[in-house]
Amino acid sequence: MITVGVEEEYLLVDPVSLLPAPLVEEVRATAGLAPIADAREVQDELLQAQIEVATPVCGAMDEIGGHLLRLRHAVASAAQANGCRIATSGAAPLRDAHPVPVTSKTRYLRMRGEARLLVDEQLICGMHVHVGIPDRETAVAVLNRLRVWLPTLLAMSTNSPLWDGQDTGFGSWRTIIFGRWPVSGPVPRFKGVADYEARAEALVASRLIADRGQLYWQARLSDRYPTLEVRCCDVQLEADEAVMLAGIVRALAATAIAEEEAGVPPVEWQPEILQAATWYAARHGLSKTLLDLEGRPRSSGDVLGMLMRHIGPALEDSGDQREVGSLVHRLLRRGTPADRQRRALADGGLPAVTALITAEA
C-alpha cells in the first residue's frame, strides 16, 4: 500500500469585507494550543494572510478525510477566535490596496526583495499530495508517466475563478499567477534520477533560483520526505474533494509503478502540448474538452472516464474504487469548485461567495 499525505493552504480573511487578514502568527499560536491539532501540523506561509496544514502519513482515504476535517476545524476555530475566517479558495477574491506583509523569515524576505510584485500577488492557495515512494529512481519513472494526467487533475480541481472582485474567465487563476515563477508549470521528462538531480542542481548552481524549494513544477520529488509531491491542484472547498484527488493521485502512482515493472512504454507528449493543455485546463476546468492520452480533444466526461478506467485496478487494490468513483460522479454532476463560486457570485454577489468559501469555517 502506497502511503499518502496532504498539505492544504488556506486564506485568512475578514468575515465582513472578505479582504485578506494578516493574522497568521496569532492564528497559529491559538491553533497550537488546541488539543485537536499538533503545532507542527499548522504552519505559516509566504504571506501573513495564508496558513498551511499538513496531515500525518496515512494509509487509507478515510484517514486523510478525518485528518483534514480535524485540521480544518482546528484552524477555523483559531481564526474565529482571532476575528477572521479561513477561506478554502485557490485565490483571494478581493485584495486590499496595501500588500499583505511577508512572513518574517529570511527566505521569504529574500523572495520579496527579488520579485516584489509577484510576491505581493501570491494570495493563492494550493493542495499538495505526497505519495510515499522511497526509491527515487522509481519516483522519477512515476513522474514521467504521471505528467500527462496533470492537466486533467488541474481541470478537476479548479477553485480560483475570482480576483479583485471579478471573474477572471479562468477556473484556476492560481495556476496563472504561480506559473510566473522561473521554474514552474508542467514537469519535464527526465532520463532517470541522475538526470533529475543534475538538472535540479544546475538550476541552483546557476543562481537562477535560490534553492531547490523553488522547483515549482506541478510535480516533483520531495527533498524533505521520501515522497513524490503532486502540486497542480487548487485547494478544495470541501475536505472530501481533497480526499478524491488524493485517492486519484495515489492510484496514478500505483498504476505507473505497475506499468514500469511490466515494461509498458510511457505516453509521450511534446512540451508545448503539455504546456498548452495545462493553460487550457486552468482556463476551462471541466466546462470544455480535455486531451486524451493520444493528444486528441475529447469531452471532459470522456477523459475522466478514461482516467477512471486507467486507475481502476489500483483503486480496487486499495479499496478506494467506490468512494473515489462516487466523488468523481458527483463532481461531474455539480461542477468544479470554480463553477460553484461562479454560481454563488451570480446568485448572491460577493456575500454569497463569502458564505461558500468560508462554509467549513
Share of the chain above pLDDT 70, in %: 98
Domain segments of the chain as ranges: 4-347
Share of the chain above pLDDT 90, in %: 95
For 229, the grid coordinates are 509531491
pLDDT at 361: 52
Residue in 224, 247, 245, 225 with CA at minimum distance from that of residue 234: 245
Query: Considering the chain, what is the average pLDDT of its residues?
Result: 96
211 vs 251: CA distance, rounded Å: 30
To the question of pTM greater than 0.95 for the whole model, the response is: yes
Grade residue 118 by pLDDT with cuts at 50, 70 and 90. very high
Alpha-carbon distances, residue 53 vs 71, 215, 271 (angstroms): 7, 21, 33
239 vs 315: CA distance, rounded Å: 19
pLDDT in tens, 244-300: 999 999 999 999 999 999 999 999 999 999 999 999 999 999 999 999 999 999 999
| Sequence letter at residue 271 | P
Q: Count CB-CB contacts under 10 A for residue 105.
A: 12
pLDDT in tens, 167-177: 999 999 999 99
User: Domain 4-347 class?
Assistant: alpha beta
Grade residue 38 by pLDDT with cuts at 50, 70 and 90. confident
The predicted model gives 312-330 an average pLDDT of: 97
Question: Per-residue pLDDT for 27 more than 60?
Answer: yes
Residue in 178, 11, 208 with CA at minimum distance from that of residue 114: 208
For 17, half-sphere exposure in the C-beta direction (CA atoms, 13 angstrom radius) is: 12
Describe the chain by its helix, strand, coil percentages, rounded to 5.
Answer: 50, 15, 30
pLDDT at 56: 96
Grade residue 40 by pLDDT with cuts at 50, 70 and 90. confident
87 vs 69: CA distance, rounded Å: 14
Residue in 148, 147, 177, 150 with CA at minimum distance from that of residue 161: 177
Grade residue 34 by pLDDT with cuts at 50, 70 and 90. low
pLDDT in tens, 205-258: 999 999 999 999 999 999 999 999 999 999 999 999 999 999 999 999 999 999
The predicted model gives 17-21 an average pLDDT of: 97
CB-CB contact of 61 with 240 (8 Å): no
Report the run of H or E that residue 4 belongs to, with start and end: strand 4-13
Q: Count CB-CB contacts under 10 A for residue 134.
A: 10
Beta bridge partners, 227, equal 132
Question: Per-residue pLDDT for 37 more than 90?
Answer: no
Residue in 184, 164, 180, 160 with CA at minimum distance from that of residue 172: 160
Grade residue 84 by pLDDT with cuts at 50, 70 and 90. very high
The predicted model gives 80-102 an average pLDDT of: 96
For 140-201, the three-class secondary structure string (H helix, E strand, C coil) is HHHHHHHHHHHHHHHHHHCCECEECCEECCCCEHHHHHHCCCCCEECCCCCCCHHHHHHHHH
CB-CB contact of 274 with 147 (8 Å): yes
